A and B are shown apart, each in its own frame.
Chain A
Amino acid sequence: QMQLQESGPGLVKPSQTLSLTCTVSGGSISSDDSYWSWIRQPPGKGLEWLGYIYYIGTTYSNPSLKSRVTFSVDTSQNQFSLTLSSVTAADTAIYYCVREVRRSYYFDYWGRGTLVTVSS
């Protein structure tokens, strides 16, 4: 059974950069049928898909984030990462790392999520 686990700081100051890592176990991040995605949920709000990375480094990000978001992958560690620059209070959310089924675009494995608060 595949498992995903988010890690990273729970508190980030405004204007700084948010960085999270997801460790995948029970499966290979180099699987050709997987995209590795990030989804977030601000308090009291809905789910927002941020984008994905494929193991060879191909990425797609939600246009709503413009150029603030970057994805990376480390196949040797079976990990992928999210960085979000110039954060504001609006970026406060639970961040989930997720496996997205390539070509079908649904999410079948999720991490439990990590709360990131943007505050000074």
Chain B
Amino acid sequence: DIQMTQSPSSLSASVGDRVTITCRASQSITWNLNWYQHKPGKAPRLLIYAAARLQSGVPSRFSGSGSGTDFTLTISSLQPEDFATYYCQQSYTSPWTFGQGTTVEIK
């Protein structure tokens, strides 16, 4: 299975900060990388698919980049509703696998 490693595992940030989360794959997955946001008690939400494509309805402050093995999710200006856990997921080779998550907390 392809291993997905996210960093950091958690971070503290303030409203208005620029936040970057990294996801690394154990082998090349070309651009087959997706990002999700998860808040406790709620359904996870797709943010980005195919590394850089913004899902419909997702604010433009979210962006994704990368290819091969290294990817980033960037929140350009953190908003109060963005405090959550973020997961990456590879869709290159089944079984699809996820990173361990990055929790964004209020500083």
Contact = CB atoms under 8 A, between A and B. Distances in A.
Given A46-B101, A47-B87, A105 B96 contact: yes
Given A49-B98, A106-B50, 6 more contacts: A49-B96, A96-B44, A106-B91, A109-B43, A110-B44, A112-B43
A49 B96 CA distance: 6
Interface string B21-46: 00000000000101010000111111
Instruction: Please name the 9 residue pairs, one residue from A and one from B, whose CB atoms are nearest each other, closest first.
Output: A105-B91, A110-B43, A47-B98, A106-B34, A62-B95, A106-B49, A49-B96, A46-B100, A108-B46
A47 B50 CA distance: 19
Choose among B32, B55, B89, B99 the residue with the greatest number of A CB atoms under 10 Å from its CB: B89
Interface of A: 4, 46-49, 51, 60, 62-64, 96, 101, 104-113
Contacts of A48: 98
Interface of B: 1, 32, 34, 36, 41-46, 49-50, 55, 87, 89, 91, 94-101
Contact of A96 (B1, B43, B96, B100): B43
A30 B91 CA distance: 23
A46 B96 contact: no
A49 B100 CA distance: 13
Contacts of B89: 47, 106-107
Contacts of B36: 107
Contacts of B32: 105
Contacts of A96: 43-44
A111 to B, nearest CB: 6
B91 A112 contact: no
B92 to A, nearest CB: 8
B94 A60 contact: yes
